[in-house]
Every structure is written in C-alpha cells, then in structure tokens.
Homo-oligomer: A and B are copies of this chain.
Amino acid sequence: MSGTHGNTSNAKSRRSAAVPGTTPLRALDAQQLDVLRGVGREWRRVSAGPDVWRRALPVDPDLGALPTPAQITPARFGRVVPVAPFGPTVLGTSQPRPAPARPAEEGPPATVDRPRGLYRVRRLLLGPALASTAIARERMRKLVALPVLSADALSSVAYGPEAMLAVLVLAGTAGIGYSIPIAATIVFLMLAIGLSYRQTIRAYPHGGGSYIVASDNLGRVPGLVAAAGLMTDYILTVAVSIAAGVAAITSALPSLAASSVLIGVAAIAVLLACNLRGIRQAGAIFAAPTYAFVIAMVALVAVGLADAGGRGFDPVPHPPVNATEGLGILLVMRAFASGATAMTGIEAISNAVPAFKPVEWRNARTTLTWMIGLLVTLFSGIIALVHFDGILPRSGETVLSQLAHSNYGSGPIYVYTQAATAAVLLLAANTAFNDFPRVLSLLARDDHAPRLFARMGDRLAFSNGIILLSVAAGLVYVAFDGRTASLIPLYAVGVFLAFSLSQAGMVVHWWRLRDRHWRKSLVFNATGGVLSAIVLITAGITKFTEGAWVALVAVALFLFATTRIRRHYDTVAAALRLQLHAIEIPRRTIAPRVPAPAEGVEGSPDLPGSADSSHPSHPSESADSTDGREVRDPEAFRAAGDEAGDEAGKSEETEEVPEEVRHLSLVPIETLDRAGMRALAYAASLEQPVLVVHVSTGVREAETFREHWRLWGDHLPLQELVSPYRAVIAPLVNYIEALHHQRPDLTLTVILPEVVMRQRRYSALHGRTAPRLRRALRPLRKIVVTSVPFHV
C-alpha cells in the first residue's frame, strides 16, 4: 500500500483545485511531468510539426464562434456547452447567437428525439440544470445559522430523554430515581464537548468535519474510521429522526399508528426527491421549524415548571411500575448511553464555519455557545418536567406528547407542539441529506469511495450519495419497523466514534501547533475526547447485543471496502502512469496525409498539397505554434465540404470505394495518462488529420490540462471545451455533430481511450464515459467509433 501511496498526489492539492462537484483533473507530480516532457521529445523526433497537423485539419475546430471561457455566462436554463448552434439538436441554448444558415434539406437527425424525451422528463421532475457557478455561496447571519445548523442537535431532545427513561423504567421506581443524576452527567458532557468544538472551530476555520480533522492529524485509517462513524451516524439520523417524527404525529393522531412505517418511508421518499432537486439548507423556510420547536419547548417547560411551582415543586407520583431488571451499574450505563443520543448533531456548526459571515470562526463560536445553551436548557427542562409531572415512557405516545397533553390538554397548543416537533425532526433528517453525500464526495475525491459519488448531478446535488443514503436509511428504518427505541442502540456508537476521533485529532493538532492558547485548547479537547470515548465504550459494551454490533459491523465493513477501493485506485493510477521508452531510429516522419484538393474546389483553405513532402525539422515551441493559427472563415470549410460532398452524397453513408472516404480522427481525452497517450499515438499513427478534444468542467481545469499539453509539446491540434454544467457526454456529442454539419462529407473517426479492468467487479468504480459516449454517437451518421483499450 505504502508503495503505491506516493504515486498519487496528496489529498489536499486534489481538493483545492476542484470545481465543486466534479472529479478534478489530477495535477501530475514532478516525476510524471518529467516523463511527459520526455514522451514529448520522442514525439518530436517522429511527428511532423504541430503546424503541419494543424494545417491538415479539414474543419474549423472553433466552429467559427466558440466563445472563450470568459464569455460563457452561467445560463440557468440549458445544459450543453454553448457551441455554435446548428439547429434544434442543441438543447435550448439561452444565448441568442446568429445561427449560420443551414441547408433546409438537412433535417435534424431523427434519433436525437429519444434523449430529448428522457431529458424532458428529467427536467420536469428535477428542474432545469444548474451551472457550477450557481452553487450557493451565501453567508449566514448568526440568527439564521443557529436554526439551520442546530436542527439536528436540538431535535435530539425529542427522543434522547425518552430513550434514557425507557431503560431506567426497566428497573422500576428505583431506576427512575436515577434520571436526574444521569441527566446531570449528560449536561456536563454537552458542555464539555461544546467547549471542545469551540477549539475545533478556531483551528479549522475552513470547516473541520471529523473526517478531515482525524485524517489530517491522526492519519488515513483513523480518518476512515471517523468517516465510518459519521456515515452510520447520518444514516441513523435519518432513520431515528423520521421514526421520532412519525411518533410525534401518531401520538397526536393514534389512528395513523397502524401505517406508521408507510408514513416514514413516504417521508424518506419526499426527502429524496427534494434533495435530488437540490434543496440547500438556507433561508427562512429552514429557520422556521427550529424556532417553532424551540418556542414550543421553552413554553412547555415554562408552563410546566410554573405549574409545578404552584404545587410547591411537589412531583406528581408516577404510576407504579414493576422492575423487570435489577438496578445495576450496567443498566445505569445503558441509560446514560441512550440519553447521550440527545447530543447528536452537536458537531454541525464546526463543519460549517465557512458558511458564516466574517469573522467566520468568531461568529461560529458564538452560535455554538448559543446552541449549547439552548440544548442544555431544553434537555434539562424536559427531564425536570418529566420528573415533576410523573410521566413514564409508554408505547403509543411519546414522552413529549404526554407532557404537552398533561399541560395543555388536546387543544391547538398541543397540536402546535406536536407539529413543530415533527417538523424539526424532518429538518434534522434533511441535514443528513446534506452532510452524508458531502462526506462521501470527500471520500471519493480521496479515492476511498467510488468516483461516481464525487460527481454532482446537473442540479448541483451529489445525486448518487443522496440515493445511497435514502436506500440505506429506508432499509434500516423498515428493518427496525420504524421504532425509535430499537434504533437508538445503533445510533450512539457511530456518533461517539466520530466525536472521539475528532477530539483526539484536535489534541494532536494542538500538540503539534503549540500556539498561544494551545494548552487550554488541548485540555478542553482531551476532556471532550476522553468523555466521548467513555460514552463510546459504554454504548459499545452495554448495547452490543441490542444492536450496537450492527453499527460496529457496518464500521468494519466500511473500513474494509474503503481501503480496498483505495488500493484498487492506486493500482490503476500506477498502471496509468506514463513511462518512457526511447525510440532508437525513427523510421520516418508521421504526418497527416491530405488528399490533393479536387479540381474545381475554390476558396478552400491552404491545405498542403501532399503531406508526404518532407517537413522542416520541428520548430522549437514558440508562441507561434500555440497561438499563431490564422483565423479562417468557417464558411470556407463548409464550402469545401459542400464541394467535396457533391460526389460522395454528403452525409449519406455511401462510401463503398476507399477513395471516397475522407478522414478526420477525433480523440476525446481526459488526461495525458498512459491510456490517453496510447490513443493519441494510435490516432497519429493512422496519419490522418487529428483533432484532440478535451472537455473541462471549469476554467481552472482547462488551464491545468493546457499546461500539461504544452509541456508534452502540443504535437496535435487541441480543442478545449468548457462545460458549465459538468456534463461531459452532451457537449462532446454536440461538438462532434457540429463538426459533422460543417463537413458532412468527412468520416469522423472518434478514437476513445478506454481503460478496461481485468476484473469486472471493479468496473463499477470507474466512469462509463467510453460506453456512454459510444451509445450517444451510435445513431449519428458517418461517425466511426474506435475503442483503444488499455488493460489494467
């Protein structure tokens, strides 16, 4: 493992250069850059100069009107790269640009209808595609950030106290007596971990999720373990929040109790649909439920305590309960571990520091303090109220509902309380829909998860991760019959695993950094870490048979899968690294052969009469070779095509004699790795005019690629396409179609580099760009598709 690890550039540099939601072009390391330069030198010895190849091009690669990257305004409607439109096949470009006159007899290829139909259905369901630049970058005020980021944590009080009581009640009245001291311990824990995360916010102003903190400070495996904890946490957040939310509803409407599982599944489906459309967690809609819930809870606690005060704080005796288990240390610990689930979601603010208005870390810390204050208030208030009102957990009605009933009766205030509870729980579940795919995309970007999780869909959501979360949460929810009590034992393990590793990472961080306040911060983080670890161990031991083993197995499987995936990607990356073999004696110069212009073609560009004429030795790279291309009128190409096409029947596929075939090879290339280089070599060796096409998902990626390309030597004509909607296939197909319309007499050979896995089980880990492109090109006329495989 360690041997191949060095081959791939480090995680940080990968992350930084990326357009959000794309698999970025990996920067090459120094050794690879050297090899690239070396390969370029070999090319120079055998290939005719770039100018020769460029002059041989029978088409205008710019299509006469390709916009520069700066010109591409992020249009809200429309998906394809805005290449020069050539009829209705360009799906709704928003920029009105003068369309070149198009011969009427060339109707749009009938086959384009099918994808358009599917495309329409998709747009109807998901809304129009969003450009990468449309990513929400708005900063949140503290009063907005508080409800948005604390929904998960605050909503936990809807099930945490109940989970604790449900364990204690097993030991009868004596057990219930322990609720106050255990709750006090949990409050202490909340404060300690809150303090702990205040340190994290200061140290990671760019967002310090457990995965990042643990892998930065403790190494790869602890980082993965933290991620495993996080992922199970998010899945269970959805399942538990939905279960508790449905319980809040069925408490108010007992007639719905029978179909509670169905309601929960429907709620997950709604969350899935909304998140595929790309709902962002911002704005008043998301602030409302949390504030409503806080108001409801504060009111409940105030009314209840006032009531109790009226009785002289004399607790109502709870109904007698029979002890079914002895009161032992194990039971108390179990109750503690269950009650600690009230703390889940406490880490949310430290992940989202960059979303605050400046000074970010200071605002985040203030918000965290507020949140901890609210959390402690609500938690201890509810515990106190339960104590004074003599409430016991029972099936069919939640503790919160019982409290509301006993204080308000069944009037509108009760209904409001239940509705607010359900709403905040739904919002908490939605938080996981934001976080799970994000963590998964970080893993994917570090090669620990299949790359498809790193790609954003055209609605700027990590669609694949969202789907995975929905399926996983749905399965867990259904498997445990939608009962909160059954899900709680699984929950604590993942959460506190991530907490512990994150805090441990922070301890290492402070030890290494030793800045001004390092001692204080280290102590706080160490305390938080130790306490989290205690909860983790407690939960793992006391609830092992109740379900914690499921979470532990899930973490182990996750760890196994992610390391295997990383190893596979490393192997592939190593196999694709360029290597240098010198050619001893170049036999002859590889140059494009261009047919002599047919008599009668006038106004055709200055194509060289014969490429077999000996070329001057390769000029050294000069500004001229990259930028000095003469601007040519695309209509000239069209004219040449029309003229030449007269005898070959234009885009009719009638070439039955070799003389009638006029070639242009197109090489769509992703990176200059061995597979790509092999395709380039194959294309050049055919000695037909070659045009290399690269689709970038952003201007920076385009720059990186062009840098590599120049380093290699710019031996072949290159056309860069920038796809503002992250799609690769659609812009390529549109570009190829545009070329075809420019010169319908040409046979375009699309030469696809294709990495073929020897073991088919790994093929899911790799993009299916080549087969997808082949399928998209299949219905087009006079497009020959060639796969150049590279076997790994």
Q: Which residues of A contact B (CB under 8 A)?
A: 39, 42-43, 45-47, 110-111, 114, 578-579, 581, 583-588, 590, 593, 595-596, 598-599, 612, 647-649, 653-661, 663, 674, 677-678, 680-688, 747, 749, 756, 758, 760, 774, 778-779, 781, 783-791
Contacts and interface: CB of A to CB of B under 8 A. Distances in A.
- Residue among A45, A581, A612, A791 facing the most chain B CB atoms (10 A cut-off): A791
Nearest to A785: B787
B682 A758 contact: no
Contact of A681 (B586, B593, B657, B682): B657
A273 B498 CA distance: 56
B786 A785 contact: yes
A596 B589 CA distance: 12
A591 to B, nearest CB: 10
B661 A685 contact: yes
B590 A595 contact: no
Contacts of A663: 685-686
Nearest to A657: B42
Nearest to A584: B647
Contacts of A674: 653-654, 656
Please state the number of chain copies in the assembly.
Answer: 2
A9 B42 CA distance: 57
Nearest to A786: B786
A791 B653 contact: yes
A786 B779 CA distance: 15
Contacts of A42: 656-657, 659
Contact of A758 (B45, B111, B588): B111
22 contacts: A39-B656, A42-B656, A114-B760, A581-B647, A581-B648, A581-B649, A581-B656, A581-B660, A583-B647, A587-B659, A612-B612, A653-B678, A654-B674, A656-B677, A656-B681, A658-B680, A686-B688, A749-B786, A778-B787, A778-B789, A779-B791, A785-B789
A43 B756 CA distance: 37
A584 B659 CA distance: 11
Nearest to A612: B612
A658 B595 contact: no
Given A682-B655, A785-B786, A789-B783, A583 B111 contact: no
A778 B757 CA distance: 10
A788 to B, nearest CB: 5
Contacts of A46: 657-659
A682 B586 contact: no
Contacts of A585: 598-599
A772 B750 CA distance: 20
A605 B47 CA distance: 28
Contacts of A653: 674, 678, 789-791
Contacts of A747: 682
Contacts of A658: 43, 46-47, 590, 680-685
Contacts of A588: 595-596
A598 B47 CA distance: 18
A778 B758 contact: no
A382 to B, nearest CB: 60
Contacts of A779: 756, 758, 791
Contacts of A684: 658
Nearest to A35: B656
A541 B786 CA distance: 61
Contact of A788 (B586, B648, B784): B784
Nearest to A579: B654
- 6 closest A-B pairs by beta carbon, nearest first, are A658-B684, A661-B685, A658-B685, A46-B659, A786-B786, A656-B677
Given A658-B680, A658-B682, A756-B779, 19 more contacts: A43-B657, A114-B760, A581-B654, A583-B660, A586-B659, A587-B659, A588-B596, A654-B678, A655-B685, A656-B677, A656-B681, A657-B681, A658-B684, A659-B685, A660-B681, A778-B789, A783-B789, A784-B786, A786-B787
Contacts of A781: 789, 791
Given A681-B657, A681-B658, A789-B784, A587 B596 contact: yes
A747 B751 CA distance: 14
A542 to B, nearest CB: 48
Most chain B C-beta atoms within 10 Å of own C-beta, residue among A114, A678, A778: A678
Contacts of A583: 647, 657, 659-660
A589 to B, nearest CB: 9
A691 to B, nearest CB: 15
A398 B622 CA distance: 97
Given A587-B596, A599-B585, A784-B786, A578 B656 contact: yes
A777 to B, nearest CB: 9
A178 B749 CA distance: 79
Nearest to A688: B686
Contact of A661 (B43, B581, B612, B682): B682
A654 to B, nearest CB: 6
A783 B583 CA distance: 22
Contacts of A648: 581
Contacts of A110: 758
A593 B589 CA distance: 13
A686 B689 CA distance: 12
A685 B657 CA distance: 8
Nearest to A792: B653
Contacts of A778: 756, 787, 789
A590 B682 CA distance: 20
Nearest to A110: B758
Nearest to A111: B758
Nearest to A610: B588
Contacts of A584: 647
B787 A784 contact: yes
Nearest to A39: B656
A538 to B, nearest CB: 49
Contacts of A612: 612
A647 B42 CA distance: 14
Nearest to A715: B658
A675 to B, nearest CB: 8
A587 B601 CA distance: 14
A677 B779 CA distance: 19
A39 B660 CA distance: 12
Nearest to A47: B658
Contacts of A586: 659
Nearest to A754: B778
A609 to B, nearest CB: 11
A774 B760 CA distance: 15
Nearest to A676: B656
Nearest to A749: B786
A779 B758 CA distance: 7
A695 to B, nearest CB: 22
Query: Which of A39, A599, A778 has most B Cβ within 10 Å?
Result: A778
